[in-house]
Structures are given as structure tokens and as C-alpha cells.
A and B are shown apart, each in its own frame.
Chain A
């Protein structure tokens, strides 16, 4: 099982195509970080499906092994407990994303379209994209149905004002490295060079508007807590 602990993980980030050797423990850590980030970021973040798949692979492998153990073995229940904990982690992560997709479906699809056009990496995984499109379709049908029953409903108004995440909402974060000159977004539109700047030391914990640090978060320089 030692070999299984060393997982090859291919990071499909735009910048880094190199293969990275990670232990299963590191994969779990990445999953935890992704989970907390997703939980607290107002918008949907780039998906981490490679981490999810890697962890699910570990879980499946472990469960297969467990089947051969007699149920009286005390080791079995411990392994089972660990598997359940990891399963919770993964499903909670995926559920959080689905909730966001449901809430901001129009907004997210529009952004994905823009990313697709400018050849950027998409934030949603294939299945999530499918889910989002189905939701959007179902919503449209529902609204169309409503309007045919109750003519005169202000449908245009609904369609032109999709629910959007509040990108300025405040988040708690921990800096993973030294970052210099982060522009503080305080709501006022300061002219170039006039806005307040702040430096993050590694390990510093900060409360700040999400819009100031969204880029850093996606780069992995900071994590939300």
C-alpha cells in the first residue's frame, strides 16, 4: 500500500504542465484547502477536479481492500471511519460548488462563455457545466411557463437582473507567502496610484474585501480561513 500513498498528480494549470509527485496526505491537505476556499469565496473558484479524482481514487482503492477484511477486524472500522471522513470532505466541496452554481447560474454561465471565447481555462468541470446548463434551461422553462399563466409578469426585469455574487464581501485569509503591495479595495474609486496598499507577511491573517485578493487566491498565494 506504500506505493499507493505516492500518487502522481497531473496539474492541468495553464502555467504548469509538469507532473508533481504528491503523497496522499498532501492531496488531502489540498482538498481541505480547496474546500475551505470554496466555502468562503463569494464567487465560484476554478475547479480542482484533479484533486477530487485523485482522492476518490484513493478512497475506492481503500474500500476495495476493506471488502476482503472480516467485519470483526478492528482495523476495518478505523479505515472505514477515515474513508467516511474523506468522503464527507469531497462531497461537501462538490455540494458547495453546486449550491453556488444553482444560485448564480446565469452569471456563471455568462462568465464561462467569456472565458471560453478568450481561450482561458474554464472554472467549471465538464459535469458541472452540464449541470449549470440544465439548471438554466429548467429555470427558463419555468419562467416561460409562469408568464403564459400570468401574463404581465415583469419577466424582462428578472432576466436582466441575474443574481450575482457580492465580490466585495469580506473574507478572512491566511497568506501562504510574502505578498507586497496588495491594493485595498475600500469601496471608493481611487485614481491610479492613490489607493491604499498593504503587504502580507507569510502566515499573516487578514480580514479584507474579497475583490482585493481574488487574484492571489486563484494563484494559491493566500488561502481563506
Chain B
């Protein structure tokens, strides 16, 4: 629960070129998850590919959105992905702490998977609460690294940055604030060189122009 409120605060900025946390989730819901169905059914021919056949008690791989559906209708139990395990997560957390850079996460959508699975299937995942806490810790360590590097980036006024191993959700958390800040720095640099600032600030102007024209 704590996790989701933080997300809402950090992710849902207003602005045109933003992607809401929900849309990142939408992409993440394609991740393949193992479920143990409680029913029998032949292969399902989905547009995105075949799933099944389902045999009661036999683990099957399905996309996460389907897994959640089955769980909600009590037609199956969800098996936690193999990285969602206290020992592995503790190790990941230690690595993340030791490393100066970002370590590679086991899944590109680890936060989405954690949130969705722990929300809907906490009874299927052993020690769900501990897992929730430790994933939140990893997220926090990574977020503090992001803040430090953003700070450095802005101070150096760089025009380029590598972001290897950052997951989409983490990138989304610094959007749109970081790109916007860099846009402004770009404008400052461009106007310094040109001494004629108007060329690069068309969009900037158009937003403020009409109101001044009206008052005159």
C-alpha cells in the first residue's frame, strides 16, 4: 500500500509528454508469470499468442494480466517469479548498496510486477510483507542514486546522459521534471551562443503571447 501512494505522488504529473504510471503498468502487464490453474481447459488462442493448455494443478505460463484475472476469479494460484525470494532480494539489495552505479534488475518491470502481484496475490507468495519491504528498500536506494545523478547532471549542464539498467518505471519517475530542466538549460546555452534568443524559444513564447496581446 505504501508503495502505491508513493507512485501516485511521484508519477502523475500534469503535462503533455508524460506517461502515467498506469501506462507503464500496462506495458509491464505483458510479462510472463507462472500460474497453477484450478480448472481444465484446452489451449486458448489469444491474439498475442497461445496460452495453456490448462490442467488443474499443473503450472502454466501466462501473461500477467491474465494471471491476475484468473487469480481474481479464484481459478488459479500465482507462483512468485523466482527473483521474488527473500534471499535473492537481500543479495540484490546488498549489491545495490555496494555499487556506485545501478545494478541490473532481474526484470525490466520489477516494480510493476511486485506491485501487482503483491496486491492481488499476497496469499500465494510466501513472506509477502517482507518481500514488499525489501523491494521498497531497493527502490529507495535506487531513487536516491537517481537524485544524486540528476543533481550532478544539472550542475554540469550536460547535454547527454547514459541511463543503463534503469527500469522504465524509474525513468518515468524523473519525467517530466528532468527533461524539462534540461530543455531550459539547452535554451540558456543556445541563447548564450546566439545572443538572439528568439530562435529557440518559439514554443516558450507561444504559450505566453496571447494573453499579453489581449491586454494591449
Q: Which chain B residues numbered 147 to 189 have a C-beta less than 8 Å away from chain A?
A: 159-166, 168, 171, 175, 178-180, 182-183, 185-189
Do A171 and B162 touch across chains, with their CB atoms under 8 A apart?
Answer: no
From A1, A42, A99, give the contact of B45 (CB < 8 A). Answer: A1
A133 interface residue (CB < 8 Å to B): no
Residue contact A206 to B189, C-beta cutoff 8 Å = no
Q: Tell whether A170 pairs with B193 under 8 Å between CB atoms, given A74-B75, A206-B162.
A: no
- Shortest distance from the beta carbon of B31 to any chain A beta carbon, whole Å: 13
CB contacts (< 8 Å) of A92 on chain B: these are 23
B contact face: mostly helix, strand, loop, or mixed: helix
Asked if B17 and A42 make an inter-chain contact with CB atoms under 8 angstroms apart, the answer reads yes
A169 close to B65 (CB less than 8 A): no
B6 contact set on A, CB distance < 8 A: none
CB closest residue in chain A, given B29: A85
Q: How many A-B contacts if CB must be within 8 Å?
A: 143
Q: A186 an interface residue at 8 Å Cβ cutoff?
A: yes
Q: How far is B161's CA from A184's CA once the two chains are assembled, in angstroms?
A: 11
Interface residues on A, range: 35 or more
Asked whether B163 lies within 8 Å of A207 as measured between CB atoms, the reply is yes
A214 part of interface (Cβ distance < 8 Å): no
Q: Is the CB of A204 within 8 A of B164?
A: yes
Interface string of A145-179 (1 = CB under 8 A from B): 00000000110011001011110111110000000
Tell whether B101 is near chain A: CB-to-CB under 8 Å. Answer: no
Given known contacts A81-B65, A187-B189, A5 and B49 CB-to-CB distance under 8 angstroms: yes
- Expressed in whole angstroms, the Cα–Cα distance for A157 and B214 within the complex equals 12
Given A170-B182, A187-B200, A225-B171, A82 and B160 contact (CB-CB distance below 8 Å): no
**A170–B189 touching, CB < 8 Å:** no
Interface hits, A20-76 → B, CB 8 Å:
23-25, 28, 32, 36, 39-40, 42, 58-59, 62, 74-75
Q: Which of B90-98, B124-132, B135-143, B203-211 contacts the other chain?
A: B203-211
User: Given the complex of chains A and B, what is the CA–CA distance between A165 and B207 in angstroms?
Assistant: 12
Is A169 a contact of B171 with CB atoms below 8 Å?
Answer: no
Contacts of B73 in A (CB 8 A): 74
Q: Check B133 for interface membership: any CB of A closer than 8 A.
A: no
Are the CB atoms of B49 and A25 closer together than 8 Å? yes
Question: In the assembled complex, which residues on chain A have CB atoms less than 8 Å from the CB atom of B188?
Answer: 187
Complexed CA–CA distance, A25 and B165 (Å) = 25
CB-CB contacts of B192-216 with A at 8 A, as 1s and 0s? 1110000010110110011001000
A45 to B168 alpha-carbon distance, docked (Å)? 22
Structural contact, A24 and B159, CB atoms closer than 8 A: no
Kindly list chain A residues whose C-beta atoms are within 8 Å of the C-beta of B46: 78-79, 82
Q: In the complex, which residue of chain B has the Cβ closest to the Cβ of A161?
A: B206
Partner of B202, one of A83, A164, A169, A208: A164
Give chain B nearest CB distance to A83 CB in angstroms: 8
Contact of B183 among A25, A168, A189, A198 (CB under 8 A): A168
Tell me which residues from 190 to 221 in chain A have a Cβ below 8 Å from any Cβ of chain B.
Answer: 196, 198, 203-209
The reply on A127 being an interface residue by CB < 8 A is no
A172 touches B159 (CB 8 A): no
Mark contacts of B51-88 with chain A using CB atoms, 8 A cut-off: 1 yes-contact digit, 0 otherwise: 00000000000000110010001010000000000000
On A, residues with C-beta under 8 Å from B are: 1-2, 5, 23-25, 28, 32, 36, 39-40, 42, 58-59, 62, 74-75, 77-79, 81-83, 85-86, 88, 92, 99, 153-154, 157-158, 161, 163-166, 168-172, 184-189, 196, 198, 203-209, 225
> What are the 6 A-B residue pairs with the smallest beta carbon separation, nearest first?
A186-B159, A187-B189, A187-B190, A170-B179, A205-B163, A207-B161
Q: Known contacts A172-B163, A187-B185, A188-B190; can you find 18 more A-B pairs with CB under 8 A?
A: A24-B47, A25-B48, A39-B17, A78-B66, A82-B46, A154-B213, A158-B213, A170-B179, A186-B159, A188-B192, A188-B193, A196-B159, A205-B162, A205-B163, A205-B164, A205-B165, A206-B163, A207-B162
